[in-house]
Amino acid sequence: MVNTTVAKPIVEVRGLVNRFGKQTVHDNLDLDIMPREVLGVVGGSGTGKSVLLRSIVGLRRPNAGSVKVFGQDLQTLSEEERSLQERRFGVLFQSGALFSSLTVAENIALPLIEHIGLSRRDANHLARMKVMLTGLPPEAADKYPSMLSGGMVKRAALARALALDPDILFLDEPTAGLDPIGAAAFDQLIRTLCDALGLSVFLVTHDLDTLYAICDRVAVLSQKRVLVADTLERVAQTDDTWVQDYFHGPRGRAAAYQHPAAGE
């Protein structure tokens, strides 16, 4: 676990405002992502967890506020500078978002060809390495997404997110739709990759087991901002109705029982 009292944030969100018409989703939201940490982001429906992710990676321009990544505001960079910064991100969307007309290897090779100009042969070789890195069998590289199980699609999408050797992984509900065994295996894969590759992870989730199993800190979105961002133990003690219901309801108690070390 990273020592967040000493390390400098690699992502700094300050005064973020996001509106959709008359609806304000975020209002003066602040959040930091620290080096080599797994940060879990939770909140009730409509609190803008995925909107926050999209704002940080530059897929949505906020109405106000700033997002600095590695000390630079993406919105103020030139197109070339921004492209270089964005290569340091790996993004896994909830649905996987793989191109259905391409094989797994072709999906992974695409950013290698488009962003760093590798030949198809070299990109294909690296793509197959990423397939193995995420625990997929080698033959999965030549399959189309429709031929894969839900868990394999998640791993293929993760392999594509890792294609450019990013410094930060952004994961949107990565275990959604997986059975408990598959979800636990995926959680362990994320933790292993984070430790082995020195990654930082921004993880939007509703899965309590994921929070207890792999997250160093948890940020709770509520009242249009970050209500609290701290260790899971401290967050669970927050005097807030949603937090108490979420962490101390039947599912929360079950997750805490399954992962007692997380509360120590």
pLDDT tens digits, 209-226: 999 999 999 999 999 999
241-248: average pLDDT: 91
Report yes or no on 4 lying in a domain.
Answer: yes
Q: Which residue range forms the structural domain that includes residue 66?
A: 1-83+202-264
Selection from 66, 31, 95 nearest residue 229 by Cα? 31
CATH of the domain at 60: 3.40.50.300
* pLDDT tens-digit series, residues 157-195: 999 999 999 999 999 999 988 898 999 999 999 999 999
What are the beta bridge partners of residue 26?
18
Identify the band that residue 4 occupies on the pLDDT scale cut at 50, 70 and 90: very low
Residue 94: predicted pLDDT: 75
Distance between CA 154 and CA 160 in Å, rounded?
10
Distance between CA 26 and CA 225 in Å, rounded?
6
Give the end-to-end CA distance of the chain in Å, rounded to a whole number.
13
Distance between CA 264 and CA 259 in Å, rounded?
10
Task: Report phi then psi at 215, rounded to 5.
Answer: -85, 135
Report yes or no on 109 lying in a domain.
Answer: no
For 50-64, 79-93, 123-137, 177-191, which range has the lowest pLDDT when averaged over its residues?
Answer: 79-93
Report yes or no on 107 lying in a domain.
Answer: no
Residue 145: predicted pLDDT: 94
pLDDT at 259 over 90: no
Number of domains in the chain: 1
Report yes or no on 45 lying in a domain.
Answer: yes
Residues whose CB is less than 8 angstroms from the CB of residue 58 and which lie 6 or more positions away in sequence, other chains included: 67, 74, 75, 82, 86
For 81-85, 152-156, 189-193, 201-205, which range has the lowest pLDDT when averaged over its residues?
Answer: 81-85
Report yes or no on 70 lying in a domain.
Answer: yes
Report yes or no on 44 lying in a domain.
Answer: yes
Report yes or no on 50 lying in a domain.
Answer: yes
Distance between CA 13 and CA 30 in Å, rounded?
5
* pLDDT tens-digit series, residues 102-155: 999 999 999 999 988 999 999 999 999 999 999 999 999 999 999 999 889 999
Instruction: For the sheet with 89-92, list strands across it.
Output: 89-92, 168-172, 200-204, 38-43, 217-222, 225-230
pTM for this model (two decimals): 0.89
Report yes or no on 141 lying in a domain.
Answer: no
Alpha carbons within 13 angstroms on the beta-carbon side of residue 223 total 8
